[in-house]
Structure 1
């Protein structure tokens, strides 16, 4: 009988323990969620940068839908669906060809005309939002789909916030470029002492004019965007998503649960960001599954044993469309370099009069090439993902920035001394040849690149693991609005303490004025005594006698 009681007690204890553990599972796990990645107006590089996170979430049994205009990733991944609205695909292909494939020519033309290269992002943000929502397959898709979370590529995809509103799901931002626009300082409540790092991207000791610009630039860009861009997106979203009411986007974007920041403190010169900014830069670098094709591997084995140079101007720019004068300067410079060159050309047709030491390819697995131990120099366009990969692998670079984002990446390169910046519109064949030779001969570039690589890799955990944990954190709590600082909800003048300083100055001035008035009032009774008639007559006689003597 005693044995039966002990057996029953043990069974009861095990049952209670299992029941308690089962009840706690929902608190500790968020597997099986449905997550939408909204990358409607994004480059292919942005998609590649976040794709390791998509794969990791799918491994953890989450169902992923990735909305973008780009070709699907091959091979397909279980539990990952790529949704490509036909209207968006058509629109993106048209503008990709006219605005980006020949970006080098546009850059040179603008510079010769004394103008800066026009930034098409705002106009394309509005247009891409409209063509996405108007696509025939979009409405039945969004009406028949439920998601637990929306991940939005920021900036240029603000309409994703309206999608999350329609789906009644929390949203987070992913900053694929790794840089922040000035207006984002206002949106995310970044304090004024951090603004130089947001505007310029680098730490320095600014003078009074620079500090003034740093403080006014975010305010100007914030309100220009609030009154010019966002109302257009609100109108499109309300109409095509059939939302009866919609809050202003300026307020809606403050509801972001967190920001997955595609950056890292080691290469951002001490940039200070709010606590709900989670640095996850380099996810693709640490998890790339790219391998060299047989022809590339053969080329590097046979001709790259003593080192080689790699040229790639990004996934959207086709170098073969560059002006002949630029191509000629590159060819002449490379002929003077006694080293094989691997070049992502963008076309299967090989150029005429090309140097014999150059191997051209229409596509190159960049991460695999940058990780090759014999790579000596990387020449590129200043793309954020390319900068990350070069830093991760410790490769010196020569950067030809083509966009505003490229200029920011060039500042990082120059600040850390890991490469040289050249202007694609003004460089000479001699400058390119000299720059390559300087990096090959001066070992300091590689030493600094290797040191920066060590700092970049030294983390407590893999950035994918960090990103997954925070995404599941948001899922577990149905949002994480409480992570944002109170400065997010302050006005621009309050965040800069102008009201506090104004009150202090005003009270000080008033105190001084009151003090002076009190002093005058108190000394009023101590004025000179009034003369009597006799004293006045005596003084008058004295002065009259004095006049006679004179």
Structure 2
């Protein structure tokens, strides 16, 4: 009876696949589970093109996420994690967030990932997956590499299919460690530091301390917390057989990361770690008529202002809001500003050259030839879109990786960076005047854009290729670096160094003992002769 109730809850596509032997009856199609649980809109802006591309290739997808695919597709079964975005979008004090120390951000980030994963486990959406029979099989699981760790129990539940991890949040340290990718603090900046090469001694010291703190929080606190959640929610035989989260992560076939050397700097990549920055960027669509006319009527250039999908402009502090309004009013008469403002009531004192909108097609706006500057929080997706479209940035970083993104863009000469806490009319106006008036910012951004765009194949095609590679070969063990299985002391050759030191010490000890013996013998012979 219980089995019958579970079957009744199966999505139609899943039943069809079961009838076809778990997906084998589909021509050139596979049965793929995508676990995309990060409760922020930007992550799903980034991953939804991948869902669309895999569906267009004929694969049958079961997608667990906070946002269903729009428009829906016949071969995509959406399982919605209800209330997930609202869980994250609490009344956030962004000014307080800017005061958090870098070391504290590591702990805060790990706690946020763990808490959001725990929330997902308690939802009706995830319980739908729990109701699938344990003998149901997926050919592949695609899961977010940061924030989905507690859901890795589904790997055991569905017969240990190969796993591909994706990460829209750049390329944090732990993803590199999981696949054995070289991640040396001597030349790779921690993902939450704003270091630029070449590193000074102080930079390297800070970097090492951050790496050590991250190692502690990730392996001592974060992963064990995910193991506890997994064993709490995955009952019975699945929980008892499930491998520790760290072990499952170490056996991920491929990790697709939102990174590219043009912005992140050159560094080693093992075959299992594939950069795919820009997968969400599409050909620009025509703008709505009112927006097109507004931007067309900016002969001296237009400025686009948005703080992304997570940070709301209408929750800025009064000081910061008034600074922005004052700076926009002081711009030359021919410069217009398009501002993403989430409230019905506009900001007080809004000048006539500024237009606000609750939602604006950001990437399409940045493609308009009159847009000469982008005031941004320097989030990952916004930075990539601005670079792709060739628009210089005035960065106001607020949280996590935004500080590093802003520092990198400024170091490349395509951005000016402002401090949120000390934002003033004068500082905003000076940065805008510099970016709008100095053509070198736009020239350098166009050069950077050309490098960022130029790939052997488009980033979305790259992502689809490697996912299908894993499907075709039922995993990708040959792409796995041996460093992923080595202990830290083996990786640093400390065992070899210890052996060499031991041999050297033994040789020196023998030489010293022999010398003493010879000396005693010579000394004894002299006494006898006398």
Query: Normalising by the residue count of structure 1, what TM-score does the alignment of the two structures yield?
Result: 0.83
Higher helix share: 1
**Which one of the candidate residues 472, 487, 492 is aligned to 1:476?**
472
**Which one of the candidate residues 288, 291, 295 is aligned to 1:293?**
288
Alpha-carbon distance between aligned partners in 2 of 1:272 and 1:56, rounded to the nearest angstrom: 28
**Which one of the candidate residues 43, 52, 56 is aligned to 1:55?**
52
* Aligned match of 1:97: 90
| Structure 2 residue runs without a partner (length 5+) | 1-22
- C-alpha deviations, 1:205-224, integer Å up to 9, x for none? 33455445545643442343
SS at match of 2:512: helix
**Which one of the candidate residues 129, 142, 157 is aligned to 2:117?**
129
Indicate how the Cα distance of structure 1 residues 329 and 229 shifts in structure 2: closer, same or farther if over 3 A, else same. Answer: same
- C-alpha deviations, 1:280-333, integer Å up to 9, x for none? 111122x256442232122112x2243100100000111111111111111111
Report deviation, 1:68: 1.7
Report deviation, 1:236: 1.9
Q: Which moved more, 1:156-165 or 1:418-427?
A: 156-165
Q: Which moved more, 1:275-284 or 1:217-226?
A: 217-226
1:451 aligns with 2:441: no
| Structure 1 residue runs without a partner (length 5+) | 1-25, 536-550
Asked whether the 8 Å contact 2:278–2:459 carries over to 1, the reply is: yes
Alpha-carbon distance between aligned partners in 1 of 2:382 and 2:63, rounded to the nearest angstrom: 23
Indicate how the Cα distance of structure 1 residues 293 and 118 shifts in structure 2: closer, same or farther if over 3 A, else same. Answer: farther
1:278 aligns with 2:271: no
SS at match of 2:215: helix
Alpha-carbon distance between aligned partners in 1 of 2:501 and 2:30, rounded to the nearest angstrom: 54
Number of matched residues?
495
Asked whether the 8 Å contact 2:35–2:65 carries over to 1, the reply is: yes
SS at match of 1:260: strand
**Which one of the candidate residues 258, 263, 269 is aligned to 2:259?**
263
Alpha-carbon distance between aligned partners in 1 of 2:328 and 2:262, rounded to the nearest angstrom: 33
**Which one of the candidate residues 33, 38, 49 is aligned to 1:36?**
33
Indicate how the Cα distance of structure 1 residues 518 and 290 shifts in structure 2: closer, same or farther if over 3 A, else same. Answer: farther
Alpha-carbon distance between aligned partners in 2 of 1:121 and 1:458, rounded to the nearest angstrom: 33
- C-alpha deviations, 1:368-392, integer Å up to 9, x for none? 0111111111001011000101111
Query: Normalising by the residue count of structure 2, what TM-score does the alignment of the two structures yield?
Result: 0.86
Alpha-carbon distance between aligned partners in 1 of 2:246 and 2:506, rounded to the nearest angstrom: 38
Alpha-carbon distance between aligned partners in 1 of 2:115 and 2:27, rounded to the nearest angstrom: 36
Task: Report the structure number with the largest CA radius of gyration.
Answer: 1
Report deviation, 1:353: 1.0
* Aligned match of 1:311: 305
Alpha-carbon distance between aligned partners in 1 of 2:285 and 2:108, rounded to the nearest angstrom: 32
Report deviation, 1:117: 6.3
Report deviation, 1:512: 2.1
Q: CA RMSD in A?
A: 2.7
* Aligned match of 1:205: 198
Asked whether the 8 Å contact 2:307–2:313 carries over to 1, the reply is: yes
Alpha-carbon distance between aligned partners in 2 of 1:257 and 1:114, rounded to the nearest angstrom: 31
Alpha-carbon distance between aligned partners in 1 of 2:315 and 2:508, rounded to the nearest angstrom: 70
Asked whether the 8 Å contact 2:179–2:272 carries over to 1, the reply is: no
